[in-house]
Amino acid sequence: MAHIRLNISGLKNRDGQERVERALRDLPGVWAAVVCLDQSYADVEYMDDYGPSADDLVTAVADAGFTARIGG
């Protein structure tokens, strides 16, 4: 299993938080996606060999209406 943190711009409320979590969880190979609204990041756990690429994760966040970049 792999882990990645995405810093997300534009999160303002719980609706946005839920949209991002749902968009990330819908990707094949994602086990968990938790968004911290207060600090505007998402922690994503996914399968190493079958999971999405970092670009896929960023695109999913963009499709939900927000901007993401790989965080630390």
Extents of the domains making up the chain: 2-70
Q: What is the pLDDT of residues 9-27, one digit of tens each?
A: 999 999 999 999 999 999 9
For the record, the structure tokens of 37 come out as 């609204």
Give pLDDT, residue 59.
98
Three-class DSSP labels, the chain: CEEEEEEEECCCCHHHHHHHHHHHHCCCCEEEEEEECCCCEEEEEECCCCCCCHHHHHHHHHHCCCEEEECC
pLDDT tens, position by position, 37-57: 999 999 999 998 888 999 999
Whether domain 2-70 has CATH 3.90.1150.10: the reply is: no
User: Rounded distance, CA 15 to CA 50, Å?
Assistant: 29
The predicted model scores a pTM of 0.93
pLDDT at 72: 63
